[in-house]
Structure 1
């Protein structure tokens, strides 16, 4: 079993806020991530796929396919967008890094499988020190 990883980057704004909580409670739980005027990150996205090596191509999947898939299904909906307002696959979801990772997995899983591979991990790095890894 071989694992290959593609990295993409996107910049996006979001806010962590629960509408039926008080402002004090939101700030107590989410801190500066509850800023009423939003805040942003320069995210790194790492998608690792796994599978057998095709004996003809020598690939698990064509990295050009993976790059195009991520741009078409994920990056165009996140880059320079407000995740809470502009990203259809995040509608009605808290825009936590955890939920972003799960939503990205859901956006691309079937197309990865159609190429004979599986997603091993979706890693979303929000800051230099904070990242989420989702293994399905």
Structure 2
């Protein structure tokens, strides 16, 4: 199994670079047109030159706005945690669900009463015949 590992790693890198190149918008591609990068990745994928060249030089890497690292940005722009029982939107959605359930239950009860009355009426009519 270990003798196949280098082949699998090369294949995985080749597939990743190919899909990454295809999914990258044209305006984020550096140096060469996107079609040329795809051809380079496909032709030189076995020796890792194509995929490594794409990952190193083919795609623009954007720094987060403000010069902060991604983890700093997420730390600074994180929404404060609100427990469900303190969240007004969640509580409102529960009230709406309860109203829907109550309406449905009332409709079922009314339908059941109507059916029971209809059955009693039929029984009375059959008893008279």
Which structure has the greater CA radius of gyration? Answer: 2
Of structures 1 and 2, the one with the larger relative CO (CA 8 A, separation 6+) is 1
- Give the structure-2-normalised TM-score: 0.22
Give the helix-richer structure, 1 or 2: 2
Give the strand-richer structure, 1 or 2: 1
